[in-house]
Amino acid sequence: MRRVLYIAYLYPPIANSGTRRSLSFVNHLPDHGWQPTVLTVANPEERVCDLSLLSEIREGTQVERAPMASAAVANRLAAWCVPQSRRTAVAAALEWRLERVFQAPDEVAAWYPLAVQRGLALHRKQPFDLICASGWPWTSFLVARALSLKTGCPYVLDYRDTWRPSGTHEWEVQTRLQALLNPRLERLAARRAAAVVTVTPSLVDVIRRDAGLAQVHCITNGFEPDDFSSNSALPGQAEDGVHVSYTGVWRPGYGLEDLYRAIAQLKLAGSRHIGRLRVSAAGFKPGPAQAFGVDDVVQELGPVPHERALSLMTSSQALYLPVPLGYYAKASLPGKLFEYLGSGRPILAVVPADSEVAKVVSSVGGALRVDPGDIAGLATVLEALCQGNADGLFPLRQPEQLKRYTRAETARDLAAVFDRARSTTNQG
């Protein structure tokens, strides 16, 4: 069994779409000859955690947690200069300010020193054959590079996104320091890597360009068949209506605007069938449905545990899948796409015809595509669902194409990248 240090800031109990990719890789790698030790952050904020995720970690997995250096420094300063009764409050205030200072390459840059220190201690105790880092955050990549330089151990980088912002979304805003340093930091990290992996073919091209690389491997996200083994049968259309679900975030340029506008259009047109539609939306703060005037049709559940999200999928007649506007409309493959596919439910995909999502659902089947912004077309589909005219609306699924997107298969692909990276480094 070869040993890999898997650096994943986003790991249980942190609830994030990036968490699931690392969790699944780590859970399946031992089946392909690689024993992982996970290096992640200690004491993440409660507001970003779901403790139930801890139960999904494979039994026997070694998980090591390094704190933010900002927390350690803040606690020391508070203990040195303030009375004990005020230390907790003062330490929290200092920690926040220290993290605001250290923001390159990202807002968790203060994790770097103690993560490197912990990784070195682990390697000295029992050497690793390989290091793998998952990003975002890009600090993980710099930790991998530093550990490699100090130990001679090769490293692999797993890009879940592009390091360089596309410039089309407000959540991609960089500080001046990040804009100045990050292009150079990316090239420093990527060019020393034994291999680089990312999640879509479009991102392969972008990362080759931005990082100056000749080769980047594509390993998509996937799904766990066991999550759906007890819910394999498709639900029939309920007597009281049609249930459509969405699980995911809502942020500027990425959400349920088209769906809500289509529902509002049907209501305004006096549709006799819209009363049979029931929409469940989970993963974001409730409120938009009321703002769009569709809260009589849509139930916004807020963030929910993963098990609840799976239950919503398997109890629905259709699943709604949008993509972000701008560059990501064509380049992204949302992680929930693969769980939607694994659920076996029909997918209503509001995506461009030339997008990565359209390519996947075209090969696997089971999805009806509507162009983003085509509110009238989306309303027509919803009306047909409510009328019970869904027969033939969704293409048949191709099970043989679906297998390639299981988490076991994607982990097999990553293990093969590890094998090549290690053998190439040893030969060199």
Tens digits of per-residue pLDDT, 198-235? 999 999 999 999 898 989 999 999 999 999 876 544 55
**296 shares a domain with 202:** no
CATH number for position 310: 3.40.50.2000
Give the ranges where 136-256 is alpha helix by DSSP (H). 139-151, 176-191, 201-211
Supply the pLDDT for residue 424: 79
The mean pLDDT value of the chain amounts to: 89
Task: Give me the amino acid identity at 77.
Answer: L
The range of the structural domain enclosing residue 337 comes to 225-405
Instruction: Provide, for the chain, the percentages of residues in helix, strand and coil under a 3-state DSSP scheme, each rounded to the nearest 5.
Output: 50, 15, 35
Q: Is beta strand 367-370 parallel, antiparallel or unpaired with respect to 130-135? A: unpaired
State mean pLDDT over 112-129: 97
Structural domain count of the chain = 2
For 40-52, the pLDDT digits (tens) are 999 898 889 999 9
**342 shares a domain with 324:** yes
Output the six-digit token pair for 338: 């693969």
- From the list 143, 81, 82, the residue with the least C-alpha distance to 111 is 143
**317 shares a domain with 196:** no
Supply the pLDDT for residue 359: 96
Contact yes or no for 413/219 (Cβ under 8 A): yes
pLDDT at 88 over 90: no
**273 shares a domain with 263:** yes
Contact yes or no for 411/24 (Cβ under 8 A): yes
**244 shares a domain with 214:** no
Task: Give me the amino acid identity at 375.
Answer: I
**412 shares a domain with 315:** no
Q: Give residue for tokens 């955050």.
A: 137
Cis preceding linkage at 13, omega within 30: yes
**381 shares a domain with 307:** yes
**57 shares a domain with 6:** yes
Contact yes or no for 192/131 (Cβ under 8 A): no
**182 shares a domain with 119:** yes
- Provide the greatest CA pair distance for the chain: 72
- Give the three-class secondary structure for 47: helix
Q: How are strands ordered across the β-sheet holding 277-282?
A: 298-302, 277-282, 242-247, 318-322, 347-350, 367-370
pLDDT at 352 over 80: yes
- Give the three-class secondary structure for 4: strand
pLDDT band for position 252 (50/70/90)? confident
Task: Give me the amino acid identity at 180.
Answer: L
DSSP state of 171: G
Report the Cα 51 to chain-centroid distance in Å. 18
pLDDT band for position 82 (50/70/90)? low
**67 shares a domain with 180:** yes
- From the list 134, 220, 231, the residue with the least C-alpha distance to 405 is 220
**394 shares a domain with 413:** no
- From the list 197, 37, 41, 43, the residue with the least C-alpha distance to 122 is 37
pTM of the model: 0.88
Task: Give me the amino acid identity at 178.
Answer: Q
What is the rounded CA–CA span in Å between residue 162 and residue 207?
7
For 293-346, the pLDDT digits (tens) are 999 999 999 999 888 999 999 999 999 999 998 888 999 899 999 999 999 999
**410 shares a domain with 400:** no
